[in-house]
Amino acid sequence: MTTPTEQLSLITPDQPAHRPADDAVRLLLFNAQHASPDRSRRQAAWTASQEDADIAVFTEVSSTRGGDALVTALGERGYATVIAPQPPSPDYRTVIACRTAAARLAQSPVTVTPHRAPAARVTVGGHDIGVLGLYVPSRGPKEQRNVAKRTFQDAVAEALPKLDAAFPDMPVIVAGDLNVIERGHQPPHKVFGAWEYAFYDSFEAAGLTDAFRFLHPDKIAHSWYGHSGNGFRFDHIFVSTRHADRVLACDYHQEARQEGLTDHAVMTVRLRLPGPAETA
């Protein structure tokens, strides 16, 4: 079940709380906040109860007991496929869980710490969908301030234009905690540099559209709050621009954060699949 760098867990699940949709892609983004085994199991139970979680992307998953508990619990809660890359040394990772068994590990175009950037090809309603999960490092300790963050961001920016080749002729969804904000963010935060705004811009340059901004061009929303109470929109979902007009909904939800399951808002997106007379 494991290789040196990646784990693909195919577990016989319990009856899922919700059956996967076949007319839309329903994806949920959840920051696991390096949870303990007990909180990881509660995160899995909460996620399985959500209708819009046919595909669940978890960021900031530990590489130790908490992360292992999450992977196991997701399988027990009805997720037939759990893609959970294991880093070669202790580090956070990103996990992609799918209610359907019609999902498989894909080659991630991100070559730096790829356990933070797994990719999957998921079949929904007879249509293939490309999914890339991302967890960008935080600023890091003073002696290594921004080194890992900038290296990973550069690798992602280089990889994004390769998604078309990795997932030809299909919608692509990129979901993750990017640890950056958009230009014009409210409130403004002076701590972010030009290179961080350029990273956010690299998604649009690579043919990806911010799904939340596509539907809510002027809405102020935050997914994480600092000790001072100031909000940051760190968590993002992008879709391939040529499929942006199929985005039915994209929102932030504060319930899991308010219940103490995580310190981030959960994010969801629904993407309409083409009808019989349409092309992918």
Structure tokens at 113: 């710490």
pLDDT digits (tens, 9 = 90+) for 210-245: 999 999 999 999 999 988 888 999 999 999 999 999
78, two tokens:
């009805």
pLDDT, average across residues 114-140: 95
Mean pLDDT of the chain: 91
pLDDT grade, residue 141 (50/70/90)? low
Residue 189 confidence (pLDDT) above 90: no
- Report the top-level CATH class of 8-272: alpha beta
Per-residue pLDDT band for 276 (boundaries 50, 70, 90) equals: low
What pLDDT does 40 receive? Answer: 98
Map out the domains of the chain as residue ranges.
Answer: 8-272
Give the helix/strand (H/E) hosting 163: helix 163-166
**Coil, strand, or helix at residue 211?**
helix
Whole-number Å distance between alpha carbons of 95 and 115 = 9
In the chain, beta strands by DSSP E: 8-9, 24-31, 55-61, 81-83, 93-98, 103-106, 119-124, 127-135, 172-177, 208-210, 224-225, 231-232, 235-240, 247-253, 266-272
